[in-house]
Amino acid sequence: MKHILVLGGTGFVGAHVCEKLVRAGFRVSVPTRRAVNARKVQHLPGLTVLECNVHDEAALTKAMSGVDAVVNLVAILHGTPARFDRVHRQLPEKIARACRAKGVRHLVHISALGTDHVAPQSCPSSYLRSKGQGEAALMQILGWPTNASAAAPAPDRTGLTVLRPSVIFGAQDKFLNVFAALQKVFPLMPLAGANAKFQPVWVEDVASAVVQSVQNGLSGTPQWQIYELVGTKVYTLRELVQLAARLSGIGQGRGRPVIGLPRWMGQVQAVLLGLMPGEPVMSLDNLDSMQADNVATGQWPGLQALGIAPAALAAIAPQYLVAHPADVGLLAIRQRAH
């Protein structure tokens, strides 16, 4: 049985990835600082929780002993440039060195749509720049060229698959659910970046792409590839906010009036939101990211190349925005049992 180490396996996407890997017959290990953080996945059959600080390179390298493939899902949406650098560039560097030291056959790395591994400094936000720098670091340390659209197989290297998803939606997401919750409280929605474009992708499709990438990576000679993971339709942020309200039945399905803000007012809004307690709904860096449309470029293959037909947001979102059902599959069985 192949052994997969999933970094970030306790998060929103990670829980879906872990379930699908278990279903596919893999043995899964999930490192986390505190085992209690892995409550959602720890009862999946064949999954082991490791108490480990993944930013400690020695501990990370030790955790890769006997591992066939690694999945890196660790990411942040908000923070300082230094924090983005630590999570999105420095950690991938440590992961790549550990993979080489332990002879890991394949690495699947979740990046972000809109980044650029060739010229990361051209990206409009710290988030996207750090993501591009992380991709470039992985390619450099693992010995893959950064200036090619694909590379020839090389049997002596760790294979690399980089997945670049658009914004990810699904039950318990912090995306459509947030828009719906805000409109339950406020009579109108002033919105920065209202015309920014997104191509949302379902969390289940992202998880399936991860599993397929692991299977592909372990079945042949090591190579590297980038995939753009997007859904079936492009939406503006305004349309997504309105859709969340309509599907949630807010205002009898009409939602709240959405007022697009000019950039300077959007910056003020982002600063004020950033001062609120808890994780911010929007930050200045998020606003910077929205200067570039978050849609497929067509430069790289997509879900279809992995044998996955992307789900439509309009078909999936009503299932969790209206009734908020429990998770499905093995995760739901665990939840009902506890």
Take residue 322 and report the two structure tokens written for it.
């209206």
In a domain, 46, yes or no: yes
DSSP one-letter string for 263-311: HHHHHHHHHHHHTSSSS-S--HHHHHHTTS-BS--SSS--GGGGT--PP
In a domain, 43, yes or no: yes
In a domain, 248, yes or no: no
pTM value is: 0.91
Query: CA 74, CA 13: separation in Å to the nearest integer?
Result: 10
Residue 161 parent element (H or E): strand 159-165
> Which domain CATH number covers 137?
3.40.50.720
In a domain, 20, yes or no: yes
Cβ-in-10-Å burial (0-12, 13-18, 19+) of 178 comes to: middle
In a domain, 244, yes or no: no
Query: CA 99, CA 212: separation in Å to the nearest integer?
Result: 20
In a domain, 114, yes or no: yes
pLDDT in tens, the chain (338 residues): 999 999 999 999 999 999 999 999 999 999 999 989 898 899 999 999 999 999 999 999 999 999 999 999 999 999 999 999 999 999 999 999 999 999 999 999 999 999 999 999 999 999 999 999 999 999 999 999 877 655 666 777 899 999 999 999 999 898 898 888 888 888 888 888 999 999 999 999 999 999 999 999 999 888 999 999 999 999 999 999 999 988 888 877 677 888 998 988 888 888 887 777 777 778 899 999 999 999 999 999 999 999 999 999 999 998 888 644 334 444 544 444 44
In a domain, 306, yes or no: yes
Q: What size, in residues, is the chain?
A: 338
Give the domain extent around 108. Answer: 3-169+200-230+296-310+326-337
Q: What is the DSSP letter of 312?
A: P
Query: CA 337, CA 160: separation in Å to the nearest integer?
Result: 38
Structural domain total, the chain? 1
Query: CA 193, CA 15: separation in Å to the nearest integer?
Result: 30
CA distances in angstroms from 141 to 94, 101, 106, 171, 244, listed in the order given: 10, 11, 14, 36, 42
Q: Taking a C-beta distance cutoff of 8 angstroms, is the pair 324, 227 a contact?
A: no
In a domain, 263, yes or no: no
Q: What is the DSSP letter of 90?
A: I
